[in-house]
Amino acid sequence: MERYDKTVEDIDMIIVCTLTPDFKTPSVASSIKVRLNINNTGAMDLKVACAGFTYELYATYSLYN
């Protein structure tokens, strides 16, 4: 956030792509949301393997278009 001069209030959605999360619940994205104390944002994990990055880009694009 420092690199791009952003704050937590600028974050709309936290999307984490992983096949090996630390826990089944809560999701990794939710854990990040709590750790950064971000209240008004969405959070979701996409549990996919090798195609995860491409799938995440498509999912993010779909949310905002």
Segment 40-56, tens digit of pLDDT? 899 988 887 777 778 77
pTM (2 d.p.): 0.73
DSSP 59: H
Please state the three-class secondary structure of 1-27 as a single string. CCCCCCCHHHCCEEEEECCCCCCCCCC
Tokens of 7: 């704050």
Please write the tens of the pLDDT for every residue from 1-40.
Answer: 889 998 888 888 898 888 888 888 889 999 999 998 998 8
Rounded Cα gap, residues 53 and 24, in angstroms: 20
10 Å Cβ neighbour count for 58?
12
Residue 63's contacts (CB-CB under 8 Å, 6 or more residues apart) are: 13
